[in-house]
Amino acid sequence: MTNKVAIIASNGGLFDAYKVFNIATAAAATDQEVSIFFTFEGLNFIHKEANGQLPMPDGKEHFAEGFKKANVPSIPELVTMAQEMGVKFIGCQMTMDVMGLEKEAFVDSIEVGGAVTFLEFAKDADVTLTF
Amino acid sequence: MINTNSVLDAKGLACPMPIVKTKKAMNGLEAGEVLEVQATDKGSTADMKAWAESTGHQYLGTVEEGTTLKHYLRKASGEETEVKKHEKIISNEELLQVMEENRNMIILDVRESAEYAFNHIPAAKSLPLGELEQRMGELDKESEIFVICRTGSRSDLAAQKLTAAGFEQVFNVVPGMSQWNGPSQKSVNE
């Protein structure tokens, strides 16, 4: 009864990151096979330096306190947790080339590929989400 | 106080952490064992039900204690597929008729105590299968014994054990509590 969940992360804000990783870890905990394709600003989520300081949307900075109060895990923690649970990360090669980034700048054991790498996984996914 | 095999403290954690931790804790349990998850995330009740539904585990119920929600889950056991060997079988409907006759009888519920707590037949005695051998002495050999569980498999094993121990009037109730629509009650406040 394993389902496949394919997620595209293409925006780089903190709220976007939570949407991506909450759904991804919840799906992995429910015995689903999950892959996330990180492209354009979404690549920041798995960038070792950037993912600890993702921006809040303009004017929403006051939510920082709410995040702390609700004891929400940090994005780097969620990244580690997702990987431990077998969520597969695919970094977009084209974006990395455009931004002049190497694979070493990202968290370990990501796969780097083009759109087709993701499409190959997503073609028979039961759930596909774009954030 | 409900007996369980393991307790997970997920208090103070926000979604999706209670589910993520539950998944990990469940991996460490044997099939058929019961886990208590303590959480303060109000969304966790709906999440636990949905999670159990998709993973095949059994959601037993939730007890609220102050701000803490205690969720009870039983690990999937695949027991439904086992072949039943005890020959004396009666249906749920037949048991209901017997109950109305006020005979000298015992309804023996051999599910885990957490399952019993959330839904059982009012007159039923709780004696989990794992404790049957030590506690068999509590049962009267002259009575008819109607053994019940969720689907008829654990009660089948229990009926065989009782027969081997010299009990003569032992009946397995099939299918059991999963399809029970006679009188029932719980011994916890939800």
Distance CA A26, CA A28 (A): 5
pLDDT confidence of residue A71 = 86
Q: Cα-flanking dihedrals φ and ψ of residue B76, to 5°?
A: -55, 140
Distance CA B159, CA B107 (A): 12
Distance CA A55, CA A38 (A): 17
- In CATH, the architecture of A4-130 is 3-Layer(aba) Sandwich (3.40)
Q: Which of B28, B25, B59, B30 is nearest to B45 (CA)?
A: B59
Find chain A residues with C-beta within 8 A of B16's C-beta.
22, 25-26, 29
**How far is the CA of A107 from the CAs of A52, A93, A103, A112, B10, in angstroms?**
12, 15, 8, 12, 27
- HSE-up (13 A, CA, CB side) for residue A28: 27
B158-171 mean pLDDT: 96
pLDDT confidence of residue B106 = 96
Do B14 and A72 make contact, defined as CB atoms within 8 angstroms?
yes
pLDDT at B17 over 80: yes
DSSP three-state, residue A35:
strand
Question: Which among B7, B14, B15, B20 is annotated as catalytic?
Answer: B15
CA B123 from centroid of its chain's CA atoms: 15
Among the ranges given (B72-81, B100-109, B160-169), the one the predictor scored with the smallest mean pLDDT: B72-81
Tell me: cis bond preceding A73? Omega within 30 of 0 counts.
Answer: no
| pLDDT mean across residues, chain B | 93
Judge whether A88 and A118 are in contact, CB under 8 Å: no
Do B20 and A22 make contact, defined as CB atoms within 8 angstroms?
no
pLDDT at A97 over 70: yes
Percent of chain B past pLDDT 70, that is, above it, reads 97
Q: Is B15 part of the annotated catalytic residue set? A: yes
B88-113 mean pLDDT: 94
Is the minimum CB–CB distance between B54 and chain A shorter than 8 Å? Answer: yes
Distance CA A82, CA A9 (A): 14
Is the minimum CB–CB distance between B20 and chain A shorter than 8 Å? Answer: yes
Residues B103-112 as b/e (b if ≥16 CB within 10 A, e otherwise) read eebbbbbbbb
Cβ of A33: how many Cβ atoms within 10 Å?
17
pLDDT confidence of residue A51 = 94
- HSE-up (13 A, CA, CB side) for residue B163: 16
A27-31 mean pLDDT: 94
pLDDT in tens, A103-125: 999 999 999 998 888 888 889 99
pLDDT confidence of residue B81 = 66
Q: Cα-flanking dihedrals φ and ψ of residue A77, to 5°?
A: -65, -45
Count each helix (H run) and each strand (E run) in chain A, helices first: 5, 5
pLDDT confidence of residue B190 = 65
Confidence at A1, pLDDT banded by 50, 70, 90: low
Find chain B residues with C-beta within 8 A of A22's C-beta.
15-16
Distance CA A113, CA B36 (A): 42
How many interface pairs between A and B have CB atoms less than 8 angstroms apart? 36
Torsion angle (degrees, nearest 10) of CA B87, B91, B97, B98: 30
CA distance A47 to chain B (A): 22
pLDDT at B58 over 90: yes
pLDDT at B60 over 60: yes
Find chain A residues with C-beta within 8 A of B54's C-beta.
1, 30-31
- The ipTM of this complex is 0.80
The answer to whether the predicted template modeling score (pTM) of the entire model surpasses 0.80 is yes
Do A29 and B15 make contact, defined as CB atoms within 8 angstroms?
no
Do B16 and A70 make contact, defined as CB atoms within 8 angstroms?
no
pLDDT in tens, B107-144: 999 999 999 999 999 999 999 999 999 999 999 999 99
A24-53 mean pLDDT: 95
Is the minimum CB–CB distance between B155 and chain A shorter than 8 Å? Answer: no
Find chain B residues with C-beta within 8 A of A79's C-beta.
none
